Structure 1
Amino acid sequence: MSDPIASASPTWARRWLLAAGVYNLAWGAATIAFPHLLFDVTGMERINYPEIWQCVGMIVGVYGVGYIAAAGDPRRHWPIVLVGLLGKIFGPIGFSVALLKGRFSPLFGLTILTNDLIWWIPFAMILRDAARQGRMP
């Protein structure tokens, strides 16, 4: 029989995922409500189909729901954290390609800092914790 106290996910992991969930819900909602805002602020031309950008906001919001669910037991819900980390790795790669092609303003990259990069270390630490506790295959 396992000790429930010893197997409980650390508080820091729960807090990081809760923060990520709230952030993603807020960013997603803002993107849905104001699809041109980021383009206007960064001096980029507005896109012709803002509904596509609103769909990005919806996806980000869904990730937020997942992070909040995972915050209840990060070790158990490590697959949600893994999917989130992968998205937070591939997003900057896609941005970098678009930047090199001259498709995005460098200012647009500020979103990479808050949407992706700041979450790499805590998400990786959560996955490491889950692996050390034998929760990952």
Structure 2
Amino acid sequence: MKLTLRLAAIYNTLWGSWVIFFPNHFFELVGMEPLNHPMVWQGMGMVIGVYGLGYWWASYNPLVHWPIVAVGFLGKIFGPLGFVFNYIHDIVPFEFIYTLITNDFIWWIPFFLILRKVHIERKWALSHA
């Protein structure tokens, strides 16, 4: 659990920094039109980067700090659902799915397993006891 959360922390911090400092780079890589307002994408980078801090802190005791993992896991579920909705409505091109592979899909199983352990061992307790 500790390793998973530390890897997630490092990944999120790096990805968030990339998006903040080079907001059009992803769009150039996948051949999408650059954003008219890159500040929105940079804001997303800031949010993802802040998740990195949360994952790092949660790594010290994942069974106690599981709400951070739960919030991250929900984001990793709702993000792809938002993509599907927007893709079906022809709002976002298919190439945007590449962000979901490393931002969401690869974390589904490890985050699920952490939360499963919390459920089995801690019964979702919010305290150290």
TM-score, normalising length from structure 2? Answer: 0.92
CA RMSD of aligned residues (A): 1.0
**Percentage identity across paired residues of the two chains:** 46
Contact conserved, 1:75 with 1:130, CA < 8 A, in 2? Answer: yes
Structure 1 CA distance for aligned equivalents of residues 98 and 67 of structure 2: 27
1:96 offset after TM fit, Å? 0.9
Give the corresponding residue for 1:38.
26
> Rg bigger for which structure?
1
Give the corresponding residue for 1:122.
110
Matched letter for residue 49 of structure 2: G
Give the corresponding residue for 2:71.
83
Matched letter for residue 101 of structure 1: H
- Structure 1 regions of 5+ residues with no counterpart? 1-12
Is 1:49 paired with 2:20? no
SS of 2:122's equivalent?
coil
Structure 1 CA distance for aligned equivalents of residues 108 and 79 of structure 2: 12
Structure 2 CA distance for aligned equivalents of residues 110 and 53 of structure 1: 15
- Structure 2 regions of 5+ residues with no counterpart? none
What is the aligned residue count?
A: 125
The range that moved more, 52-61 or 104-113, is 104-113
